[in-house]
Amino acid sequence: MIEVLFLLIFWEAVVIVILLFKTPFRKLLILTLDRLKRARGPLVLNTAAASLVALLLSGVYGIINIQKRQIHDDGHVHLNPTDQLLMANHLLQTTLIVIIDRLHHCMRELRIRRKNLVVMKRLEATKALEEERDKLKVEIIQLESDLNSKAKDVDVAEANVTALRKQFQGFLLEYQRVLEENHNLRKKLQVLDRRLSHSVSKKNM
């Protein structure tokens, strides 16, 4: 009987060690304890959970029973070696079960807070990306507006260039016409000059 009790205590200590240190078995153990507490696990796990609860209640009852049984008339508790061993065993079992329950609760809370922290970080990252996207949209709209304004300026400049080109062509045609008239006037002047020279020479003769 004592070997069985010590074996049970040993396995409870193993569970505590697994919960304390980060090992591949800790997550599996936490999930198993979650299912046990929620009564959603298989029949074997539910039976084991019921056995642990019964063991806890049995330990508490055993402690109370031993104390009541050994109270003498003087009001003091006198325990014989066997009762002392049983008392220590019940106390150890009860303590280990409570420690396992508290450790599991702390681990579950820690895991939930880590998940919430990860979710909050993702939400903050998403919010930052959305703000950056909105800023980029505003910049794109501003760039498109600047591009449209510059395109209008280019159209106006091209229209001015076209008008200046037409005006230059008009000036060039006018210049050619003036040159031609000047050439014609020179010819006429030369003809008149010859006639005048010829008439003067006749008079002198």
Domain that holds residue 94: 2-130
Per-residue pLDDT tens digits of the chain, which is 205 residues long: 456 556 666 766 777 677 677 777 777 767 776 766 665 545 444 555 556 666 666 766 776 776 666 655 455 556 667 667 667 776 777 777 777 777 777 877 888 898 999 999 999 999 999 999 999 999 999 999 999 999 999 999 999 999 999 999 989 999 999 999 998 898 888 888 777 777 767 666 5
On whether residue 199 sits in a domain, the answer given is no
On whether residue 141 sits in a domain, the answer given is no
CB 31 within 8 A of CB 18: no
Phi, psi of 39 (to 5 degrees): 55, 40
The four Cα atoms 88, 93, 98, 103 give a dihedral, to 10 degrees, of 110
On whether residue 120 sits in a domain, the answer given is yes
pLDDT given for residue 100 in this prediction: 74
How is residue 77 written in tokens?
């508790």
On whether residue 158 sits in a domain, the answer given is no
The count of domains in the chain is 1
On whether residue 30 sits in a domain, the answer given is yes
On whether residue 203 sits in a domain, the answer given is no
pLDDT given for residue 45 in this prediction: 45
Q: Is 99 exposed, middle or buried (0-12, 13-18, 19+ CB in 10 A)?
A: middle
On the CB side of 193, CA atoms within 13 Å amount to 6
On whether residue 151 sits in a domain, the answer given is no
How is residue 67 written in tokens?
């104390």
The amino acid present at 128, given as its one-letter code, is: A
On whether residue 166 sits in a domain, the answer given is no
Is the overall model pTM greater than 0.85, yes or no? no
